Amino acid sequence: MCENTTFFVRHDNYPSAPGHVELVPKRHIESFFDLTDQELTDFYALLLQARKILVEEYDPPHGYTIGVNEGRAAGRSIDHLHVHLIPRYFGDVDDPRGGIRQATPNWDPDSWR
């Protein structure tokens, strides 16, 4: 899809929405927290580039979910860093409040008051 010196963007193998992509570092790394300053700069630049492509190709999305499963306890299933960029649309889920629905036991947005 697109790339720069340290990252590339690919379509997710199991997309949760049309246009769901992943930003993947070219260097083998497991943790977002181990990225170098240059990798972080390149990541952000490529995130913006990928978003621009998604706007052009997917009838611009109403929002985005940007996510990293940092560690196995957080749901990471592949031990190589990848950051999800998921286009979101009003109505794509019944209740989008909370963003990462059901990630914690106390996920009911009505109980967050």
Q: What is the pLDDT of residues 22-66, one digit of tens each?
A: 999 999 999 999 999 999 999 999 999 999 999 999 887 899 989
The larger pLDDT score, comparing residue 90 to residue 110, is at 90
Q: Report the alpha-carbon distance of residue 33 to residue 70 in Å, rounded.
A: 9
Average pLDDT, the chain: 87
In CATH, the number for domain 2-94 is: 3.30.428.10
pLDDT at residue 67 in the model: 92
- Residue 75 to residue 88: CA distance in whole angstroms: 21
* pLDDT in the model for residue 109: 58
Q: What percent of the chain has pLDDT over 90?
A: 57
- Contact indicator for 21, 11 with CB cutoff of 8 Å: yes
Contacts of 83 by beta carbon, 8 Å cutoff, 6+ apart: 22, 23, 24, 32, 43, 47, 66, 67, 68
**Which residues touch 15 (CB under 8 Å, ≥6 apart)?**
86
- pLDDT for res 61: 84
pLDDT value at residue 94: 75
- pLDDT recorded at residue 53: 95
Per-residue confidence (pLDDT) for residue 103, from 0 to 100 = 44
Instruction: Decide if 83 contacts 22 (C-beta within 8 A).
Output: yes
Active site residues per annotation: 82
